[in-house]
Structure 1
């Protein structure tokens, strides 16, 4: 028995009992060996995928990436299905399913990137032995390739016998289609079916962390009205305080009442005011007014990020109450739009992280801790919150420079995260006391 097999055997003796430990250790060794054998082809698949521009609004490119992955899934013996995105104004999603009994997993990725067809950043480049550069290499074409090869190793080793897996690769994660409920319907349906959700985003691109909590992100629009008049009459009875003072009061009171809550942020990113003001769908703003006229209108657009549904509800109710306590002869309306829900750090998520950390230590990759939610933006896995028993994200290809022309992968995390994710799924599926109804 190799040193690695012995370590795995000892760990499994505790989890599974001595009688089953050897069989499980042999299966795990087979999984790891298969993953090692895939590396050359996996890297080639990654190179080919990155070379296809799939900016969210390049529908043909998104579909081409899906076709490219579809061929690889079929080669692995896994059927796929394309879900057109006409209903929500995007290219669509690629899905796959395998297995008929056992623990139910939903694996999550996305096909699109932030780089449009006009971007100067289009090519795959090997910077050095460990660092490869390219558009979407970490966010998240590397994660998609990792996910595929995890499933391939589990299937080829016979480890999928106790698993049912659904794969959801969205085509609009970087710029969600509308209505959002339609754009994420397939993912939410899969989450309601599943026991465990695993996301293959790059997290905060640190192999020493994984994501068990993400703050939700929703946008809001504040519209304020005042009585227009000559500026010399402001504050007088019958004229009031004007729209700009009322908007300032509202925004500052948001800050005073809510800024101290941990992990909650709210930001007015765009504001315009005057006699007339307007913010378009493309976030272009226009205004007309004069310095000697009391402002009649103000428009503000912002976002709100919270760690749990309860925190989000508290923030929204507080902001709405503040908006309704108007200065003289002013009125205001606050509208919250669709957005990404929070992924709260549940006990189930913490148990899944503890197992992932144990696996990482056994494989010699070091400790894994929960990422600070302030360092993890919104992602598709958040739509599984409240539906699955356990969730973890950030198991994809890692690096730095995401969303910029400097996006670079640390290729040492490619094989590493295939191995960690594959063993995680295997142990969850074969642990009688981990998944609780």
Structure 2
């Protein structure tokens, strides 16, 4: 398979450029669906069946498996959306500089789309039917905004699977991800009443004053040593310096180490936001804990061992790490499926203008992924 993939490197880069040069921010449904159609057509050429799960406000989700697959035991997750707004590609399209490729979403995770597609092509080329018929791929469209419309779908498809491979990018040193923190997202909106700050301040209700009380109380929920992090990361409000603020809003990010911490912190946040500190202010809270922690349990350790054996066969020494970032790995882990994340290519600076992919890793990680799928399929057939 190495000769096949090396001969396809330029083709893989062309596919990467094609995908990167399509805006596909989470809230840009048309763009996300365009990326989905490109990938759907590619898989159909390989005799894979693509089921479309229609969505109204976000892009459609895709469920992909070979037309002759019966009961695949490997679920593979990827996401079609990026964090970049419509028009970003026009400002900074795909480019190659030295040994790196740049562009919006190039490493998170359009490089992974190429890796997965060509890993399956390599398995087909090698005639390894038990491997390419043993995968069930889920491409969701809202991972970057919490997988609110897709997490139940992911959990339902994952149930009964033996392994979950998550196509988030590798760490910059190539490491896999064997554990992730859980977390949540809340939108806090405060409605007050506008009034002239000089003429009739007594007629106003300050949304900024109210949200200030809430921010102080929310930040005090931090228990870093216990693994609970609360961050009010965005605050907006106010119309003018001489107007009592009628509306303010805040975005709250939560990170947890243990599942039970999510229940506790959710109750505490809702208790804080249940009652206004400023008389007359109206509080609206949306959101919740949307990802449980991905735990490095016994099943994950066994899966990691098998994967690292494949690495050694290829002459690779790849470690595993725990990270505070969220991914859909939490959902497969939550339903008891041994899960390894970070199986995409190597790169860095995701979600930024300097996001990049290390081009030499494209073929290397594609070969590795194909060998992992093959190994896990052989293990499944022998069990």
Normalised by the size of structure 1, how large is the TM-score? 0.71
What secondary structure sits across from 1:367 in the alignment? coil
Partner of 1:357: 308
Note the alpha carbon deviations across 1:89-124, whole angstroms, 9 max, x for none: 112122211253565111111222222232254422
Cα distance, 1:304 vs. partner? Answer: 0.9
Counterpart residue number, 1:79: 49
Cα distance, 1:216–1:332 mapped onto 2, change above 3 Å: farther
Q: What corresponds to 2:173 in structure 1?
A: 206
CA RMSD of superposed structures (Å): 3.7
Cα offset, 1:332, TM superposition: 11
Cα deviation, 1:200-233, whole Å, max 9, x if unaligned, reads 11143331x11122222312356899xxxxxxxx
CA distance in 2, matches of 1:172, 1:432: 31
Q: Partner residue of 1:91?
A: 59
Q: How many residues align?
A: 363
Instruction: Sort the Cα spacing of 1:121 and 1:391 in 2 relative to 1 into closer, same or farther, 3 A.
Output: farther
Aligned 8 A contact 2:20 2:93 in 1: yes
Cα displacement (A) at 1:308: 3.2
For residues 252 and 64 of structure 1, the distance between their equivalents in structure 2, rounded to whole angstroms, comes to 41
Cα contact 1:343–1:381 (8 A) shared by 2: yes
Alpha-carbon spacing, 1:244–1:253, altered in 2? closer, same or farther (3 Å): same
Conserved? CA contact 1:121–1:405, under 8 Å: no
User: 2:130 — aligned with what?
Assistant: 161
Counterpart residue number, 1:308: 258
C-alpha displacement of 1:249: 6.5
Change (3 A) 1:150 1:297: closer
> Given that residues 125 and 133 in structure 1 are in contact (C-alpha distance below 8 angstroms), is that contact kept between their aligned partners in structure 2?
yes
Match of 1:192 among 150, 155, 159: 159
SS at match of 1:429: helix
Change in Cα spacing, 1:245 to 1:123, as seen in structure 2 (3 Å) is closer
Alpha-carbon spacing, 1:248–1:397, altered in 2? closer, same or farther (3 Å): closer
Verify the 8 A CA contact 2:52 2:62 in the aligned structure 1: yes
Query: Unaligned regions of 5+ residues in structure 1, if any?
Result: 1-30, 226-241, 272-283
Give SS of 2:129's match.
helix
CA deviations on 1:254-286 (whole Å, 9 max, x unpaired) are: 23xx22213x31112345xxxxxxxxxxxx434
TM-score, structure 2 normalization:
0.80
Distance 1:428 1:176 in 2: 29
Q: Give the drift of 1:423.
A: 1.5
Bigger radius of gyration: 1
Matched, 1:140 2:117: no
Residue 279 of structure 1 is matched in structure 2 by none
- CA shift in 2, pair 1:304/1:78, >3 Å: same
Separation of aligned partners in 1, 2:214 and 2:71: 55
Matched, 1:105 2:74: yes
Q: Aligned-pair distance for 1:298?
A: 8.9
Query: What displacement does 1:432 show?
Result: 5.8
Unaligned runs of 5+ in 2: 192-208
Deviations 1:34-87 (A, max 9, x none): 33343232222112222222223332222222222222212222222332211x
Is 1:269 aligned to 2:219, yes or no? no
